């Protein structure tokens, strides 16, 4: 039989012994070899370990054991997850000789415990501080939908590997939008879990108050399967009975193409009320301010010892963050608590809130400018302006690709309350059936 390409298809065929995990793994390696010279999503292949794991898994199948819901599924992971025996670079050249990790990251253990086979480490902005995946050492990840354009970031390698068809499931991190931005720009499904719902042990931190770890996939089912394994529990089925579109900031700073998209959503759902989340601009500012402080402090020792070893784009931001007073950072966090409470108030009235994921489509690599409500703006600083406020609220967000045949991808944030992720998957499925969403 021909090899399946989806997570669910691969796992089912491997569990039934219809295809071998080794064949699936080798096929993924072959796809990467064929495509990644152009895309540059992969920073390291895990060939030897992957083939050994595949052989071991095939032996389990022969012995009558069930490896789990990700049996034989080749996955890729952002370069900030610990992999036993390898340095965790977090996208930093200065860490290529760091001590080897003593164990796999906790979330990677859950994935491999369910049968997944890690085959590649994926590119990112240095230390996850960026929305573009332009890395001075590991290169720029190109957008598979248009290789003249950026993939977005900081989990750009993870999104691009799925969009290019190299891997069916990848893993990234999202502090201020680093899953949602690249998922939107590359036109794949992504999920930012509620803060704390996926274990973070063994991942290189950035801003612990905001950091989350989540999946990318080419199908909605695959996204849910990966998320459930990582959370250690199924996504509880829920219906999205009431849905609203966020107004204000989320309308002003998105390109006009979103109006057609929301009109189409309104036709599917029958209604599309607007909802108001107060002081969104301040939420974005607070997340930015906290990130500067916490990221700067995290790297202060290295900045003191060898500042010129950093990627210049990362370094100057981390340095500046070191001069943010901690008492003001704490005041920004106080505002964050207020903002989260307002967001949860709104989610008492609505099951799902909708908002664009990025202001514009993927910018050109040679001219990284996007359009916002303030006019043309630098992509690096503004791609996350619609994602960042939701990070401050700590909410789970499903980032869905809008169905736009022949056009550059755009993404939609489906925002819910922690523990009610099922409503996000329910709405996404309905909108996909209605032709509004989908790869």
Partner 1 sequence: MTDVFTPTRWSEAEILDRFRAAGVALPAPCLPGVKANLALLEDRWRVVQAALAEIEP
Q: Which residue has the tokens 């010129």?
A: 308
Least Cβ distance, residue 308 to partner 1 (angstroms): 6
Tell me the DSSP string of 296-324. HHHTHHHHHH-GGGS-HHHHHHHHHHTTS
Q: Is the CA virtual torsion 77, 81, 84, 88 positive or negative? A: positive
Active-site position among 178, 203, 391, 403: 178
Least Cβ distance, residue 364 to partner 1 (angstroms): 22
Helix (H, G, I), strand (E, B) or coil at 80: coil
User: Are 113 and 70 a contacting pair, CB within 8 Å?
Assistant: no
**Per-residue x/- mask for partner 1, residues 331 to 370, rule CB under 8 A?**
xx-xx--x--------------------------------
Q: Decide if residue 129 touches partner 1 (CB under 8 A).
A: no
Least Cβ distance, residue 53 to partner 1 (angstroms): 43
Could you give the CA distance from residue 224 to residue 403 in angstroms, rounded to a whole number? 19
Catalytic-residue membership of 84: no
Catalytic-residue membership of 178: yes
Could you give the CA distance from residue 190 to residue 142 in angstroms, rounded to a whole number? 18
Region binding partner 1 by CB under 8 A among candidate stretches 28-36, 101-109, 178-186, 280-288: 280-288
Could you give the CA distance from residue 185 to residue 156 in angstroms, rounded to a whole number? 9
Pick the closer one to partner 1 by CB: 297 or 430.
297
**Per-residue x/- mask for partner 1, residues 373 to 412, rule CB under 8 A?**
--------x-------------------------------
3 DSSP 8-state letter:
P
Backbone angles phi, psi at 208, to 5 degrees: -50, -30
Phi-psi region of 204 (alpha: psi -120 to 50; beta: other; left: phi over 0): beta
**Per-residue x/- mask for partner 1, residues 298 to 337, rule CB under 8 A?**
--x--xx--xx---x--xxx-xxxxxxx-xx--xx-xx--
Pick the closer one to partner 1 by CB: 27 or 381.
381
Q: Which two tokens stand for residue 425?
A: 């998957």
Could you give the CA distance from residue 284 to residue 391 in angstroms, rounded to a whole number? 9
Q: Decide if residue 248 touches partner 1 (CB under 8 A).
A: no
Pick the closer one to partner 1 by CB: 215 or 321.
321
Pick the closer one to partner 1 by CB: 19 or 92.
92
Q: Would you tell me which residues interact with partner 1 (CB under 8 A)? A: 279, 281-282, 285-286, 288-289, 292, 300, 303-304, 307-308, 312, 315-317, 319-325, 327-328, 331-332, 334-335, 338, 381
| Residues tagged active-site | 78, 154, 178
């Amino acid at each position: 039989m021909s090899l399946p390409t989806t997570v669910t298809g691969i796992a089912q065929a491997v569990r039934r012994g219809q295809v071998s995990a080794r064949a699936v793994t080798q096929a993924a390696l072959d796809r990467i070899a064929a495509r990644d010279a152009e895309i540059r999503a992969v920073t390291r292949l895990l060939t030897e370990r992957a083939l050994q794991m595949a052989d071991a898994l095939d032996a389990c199948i022969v012995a009558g054991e069930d490896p789990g819901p990700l049996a034989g599924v080749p996955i890729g992971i952002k370069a900030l997850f610990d992999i036993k025996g390898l340095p965790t670079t977090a996208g930093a050249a200065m860490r290529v000789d760091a001590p080897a990790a003593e164990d796999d990251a906790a979330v990677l253990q859950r994935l491999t415990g369910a049968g997944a086979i890690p085959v590649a480490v994926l590119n990112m902005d240095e230390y996850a501080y960026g929305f573009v995946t332009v890395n001075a050492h590991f290169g720029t990840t190109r957008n598979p939908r248009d290789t003249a354009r950026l993939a977005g970031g900081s989990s750009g390698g993870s999104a691009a590997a799925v969009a290019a068809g190299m891997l069916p499931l990848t893993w990234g991190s999202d502090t201020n939008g680093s899953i949602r931005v690249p998922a939107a720009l590359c036109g794949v499904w992504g999920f930012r879990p509620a803060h704390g719902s996926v274990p973070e042990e063994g991942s290189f931190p950035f801003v612990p108050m905001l950091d989350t770890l989540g999946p990318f996939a080419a199908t909605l089912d695959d996204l849910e399967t990966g998320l459930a394994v990582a959370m250690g529990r199924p996504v509880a089925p829920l219906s999205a009975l009431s849905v609203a579109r966020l107004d204000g900031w989320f309308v002003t700073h998105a390109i006009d193409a979103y109006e057609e998209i929301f009109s189409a959503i309104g036709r599917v759902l029958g209604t599309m009320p607007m909802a108001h989340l107060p002081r969104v601009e301040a939420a974005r500012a607070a997340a930015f301010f906290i990130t500067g402080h916490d990221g700067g402090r995290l790297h202060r020792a290295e900045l003191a010892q060898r500042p010129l070893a950093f990627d210049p784009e990362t370094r100057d931001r981390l340095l500046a963050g070191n001069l943010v007073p901690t008492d003001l950072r704490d005041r920004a966090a106080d505002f964050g608590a207020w903002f989260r409470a307002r967001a949860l108030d709104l989610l008492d009235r609505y099951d799902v809130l909708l908002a664009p994921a990025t202001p514009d489509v993927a910018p050109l690599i040679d001219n990284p400018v996007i359009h916002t409500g303030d006019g043309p703006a630098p992509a690096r600083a503004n791609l996350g302006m619609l994602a960042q406020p939701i990070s401050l609220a700590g909410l789970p967000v499903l980032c869905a690709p809008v169905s736009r045949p022949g056009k550059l991808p755009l993404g939609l944030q489906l925002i819910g309350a922690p523990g009610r992720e099922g409503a996000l998957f329910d709405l996404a499925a309905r909108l996909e059936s209605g032709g509004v969403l989908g790869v």
